[in-house]
A and B are shown apart, each in its own frame.
Chain A
């Protein structure tokens, strides 16, 4: 019978079999229980009860690490990046998977873009609710955008009467917007 021997210690029979896929590259491991335990950081064990979304996420956030080998300076730059408000570093963020304050979104904006894409199936821009009170002119601007789109559609369909109504609505909102600016 062809029995697999642990590829690490080459003594005990391999009882744990893993498949690791990184960027589509598949690697297989056959280890005995002892050696597999040693690799605890690489392989996930069921007794690893504290495992959470943040652990998974920090795996995602460390996707920059291959750069380390090719361009050490570029990577150091990211490592040293620090939020001026809460002092969180990118390294800390990557480790715990959570930001320290709202300003971190600004500080790490460049690194965040690809992460958001992965997490939210390609989306990076908010399309939902806007807070009523502090939303300020955002509401009005979004409304104008929507109306402009509607206007285009109406023009294409040659519904000019309705288009004129929409155009007037847009004008009204735009004057409202400029009044708001003067107040500021």
Chain B
């Protein structure tokens, strides 16, 4: 498969679009957890019950269109290859739990891949909306509409006092998890992140590295989300998160300005060295690739690098993960083979950008 063709099928349409503040906020996501009344939760439900729930979705929602989202496709986990599932996980469309541990799991996916509704995961239904840039309010609106659409055919487990009943009491109430993915290289470089994370935690929000294991943030990408789901309205939860995110954006911009002022040439050097590694290396591990991609993206934002499109970080962070690499290769790869293919894919992708820039000059 040619790289261009692979990119067309691999990159969700929303990944190419830019949203508000997308120099720092890569994406916004809303998740609503819902359960169906009269069915036991996935923790204990029988295979028959699980099957019936999938059938409900097949009957009412599969192949249906909803407004601008296009047609919904129902993907059943037991009918997918393991590489296909892994690709869905790396695109953040389904959870690793759904891919690996839910034999009766399914996913109702919109044509543009903005909306993914997981079925029979930890809860019967998990509605997820993914938007580029900082668009939490827009994503919540969309999730609410889809929630009403599903409720037309399904009776939710709801209690006046406790709200939407979820399998885990950490999600009860609104069942809402709102999160944003942020690229914060300057706050990491100036070592402010270690100070900021505990402060954010105190506000009832959670900060995590998106791709790294544990607390390490691969590519300086952090995910910030709400912890509390009960006792606050959906709008308040989203507003509270948004205000913290806006503060972080301001802090990151200030740190970037300070970096440019104090170590302009060193910063430029770092950006171009990383570009050199990405453009020339023959073997590259995901950790090094992530750090270099982060540097190059910062270089684009600071206009040291002018002829490369901005979304290269989001795109290559996803495309250079094991599942995607193996889909690109068309089969299983050993870790050292992945590192070689990763380097090749990045080199070719950067060449495509150069070609595009040259055509633009002519």
Contacts and interface: CB of A to CB of B under 8 A. Distances in A.
Contact of B43 (A96, A120, A125): A96
A126 B168 contact: no
Interface residues of B, number: 42
Contacts of A128: 163, 173-174, 176, 232-234, 237
B35 A53 contact: no
A131 B156 contact: yes
B167 A98 contact: yes
Contacts of B158: 130-131, 134-135
B228 interface: yes
A178 interface: no
B156 A54 contact: no
B159 interface: yes
A122 interface: yes
Given A102-B165, A105-B162, A134-B158, A86 B228 contact: no
Interface residues of A, number: 36
A101 B41 contact: yes
Interface stretch (B147-155, B184-192, B328-336): B147-155
Interface-central residue, B40, B151, B152, B167, by most chain A CB under 10 Å: B40
A124 interface: yes
B214 A86 contact: no
Contacts, number: 123
A133 B158 CA distance: 11
Given A53-B170, A57-B170, A101 B40 contact: yes
Interface in B206-237: 214, 228-234, 237
B168 A54 contact: yes
A129 B41 contact: no
A130 B174 CA distance: 9
A118 to B, nearest CB: 10
A102 B159 contact: yes
A120 B147 CA distance: 23
A123 interface: yes
A85 B152 CA distance: 26
A98 to B, nearest CB: 5
A100 B44 contact: yes
B157 A120 contact: no
Contacts of A123: 173, 228, 230-232
Contacts of B164: 126, 129, 131
Interface string A110-150: 00100110011111111111111111001000000000000
B231 A98 contact: no
Contacts of B41: 86, 98-102
A166 interface: no
A99 B43 contact: yes
A102 B157 contact: yes
Contacts of B339: none
A40 interface: no
Contacts of B173: 120, 123, 126-128
A121 B39 CA distance: 30
A154 interface: no
B231 A120 contact: yes
B122 A98 contact: yes
Interface in B114-133: 122
Contact of A132 (B148, B163, B169, B233): B148
Contacts of A112: 169
A44 B147 CA distance: 39
Contacts of A119: 169-170, 228, 230
A116 B232 CA distance: 13
B144 interface: yes
A134 B229 CA distance: 21
Nearest to B155: A134
Contacts of A99: 41, 43, 165, 167-169
Contacts of A54: 168
A84 to B, nearest CB: 13
Contacts of A115: 169
Given A97-B169, A123-B231, 12 more contacts: A85-B40, A97-B168, A102-B159, A119-B169, A119-B170, A123-B173, A123-B230, A126-B173, A126-B230, A126-B231, A129-B174, A133-B151
